[in-house]
Amino acid sequence: MKVFTYKQYIKYIHSVRLNAILELNEESNSYLLEKGAEGTLLEEMLKNRRDVASLINRFLKPIHRIKPNNLVDCTNHHSIDQTEVVYRLKSKNIFFLMKFQLIIDEYTPYKILKSCIDIIQKNKKCDENIIIVPTIIYITKKKFRRNSLLDLEYNLINFRALQLKK
């Protein structure tokens, strides 16, 4: 499982001109999910703590199984992006950032970085102990290759591989 820590936050906050890159990207790309069957299904799944816990356990393989009642939905507090959800592990400073996109391109790591920075900045009390597990859930059928100058690591899940048992 790949994570984003406070040390990485310090490194990136001082070295990347993130806003300029993201503004340039927004002029040419849109990542909002179309309200098709897949988009609606994914959106509903990420609102359900049981499904999110199952997704984390199945694909991210944490050391200890995550129970649904140990997840707190922090999306409204942390996210301004309609294509992401944020869950926090109760009584811990571990956040699960799940971003869903139709496609993944060279700007994806920058969007993940911006979301991780936002989460850390909104949780000033727990800065040095905070851990964020950034995850992209993508819908495209194309094989994905990482080709970004940013060396940020994040988890990738192909939506077509999701067959969660209720």
The top-scoring range by mean pLDDT among 33-42, 72-81, 106-115 is: 106-115
pLDDT over 90, % of the chain: 17
Rg (CA), the chain: 15
Tell me the mean pLDDT in the region 142-160: 73
Whether residue 163 lies inside any domain: the answer is: no
Give me the number of domains the chain comprises. Answer: 1
Whether residue 32 lies inside any domain: the answer is: yes
Dihedral, 61, 67, 70, 73 alpha carbons, nearest 10 = 70
Whether residue 112 lies inside any domain: the answer is: yes
Find all residues with CB under 8 Å of 42, minimum gap 6, and list them: 33, 100, 137, 139, 159, 162
What does pTM read for this prediction? 0.79
Domain extent at residue 27: 6-149
Whether residue 52 lies inside any domain: the answer is: yes
Whether residue 166 lies inside any domain: the answer is: no
Query: Which pLDDT band, with edges at 50, 70 and 90, does 10 fall under?
Result: confident
Q: Say which residue the tokens 């993130």 belong to.
A: 18
Distance between CA 31 and CA 62 in Å, rounded?
28
Q: What are the pLDDT digits (tens) for 95-123? A: 999 988 877 777 788 888 888 888 888 88
Dihedral, 28, 158, 4, 69 alpha carbons, nearest 10 = 120
Whether residue 155 lies inside any domain: the answer is: no
Angle formed at CA 101 by CA 111 and CA 121, multiple of 5 degrees: 30
Short-list 22, 36, 17, 25, CA closest to 100:
36
At residue 165, does pLDDT exceed 50?
no
Whether residue 48 lies inside any domain: the answer is: yes
Whether residue 79 lies inside any domain: the answer is: yes
Distance between CA 146 and CA 39 in Å, rounded?
23
Distance between CA 61 and CA 125 in Å, rounded?
28
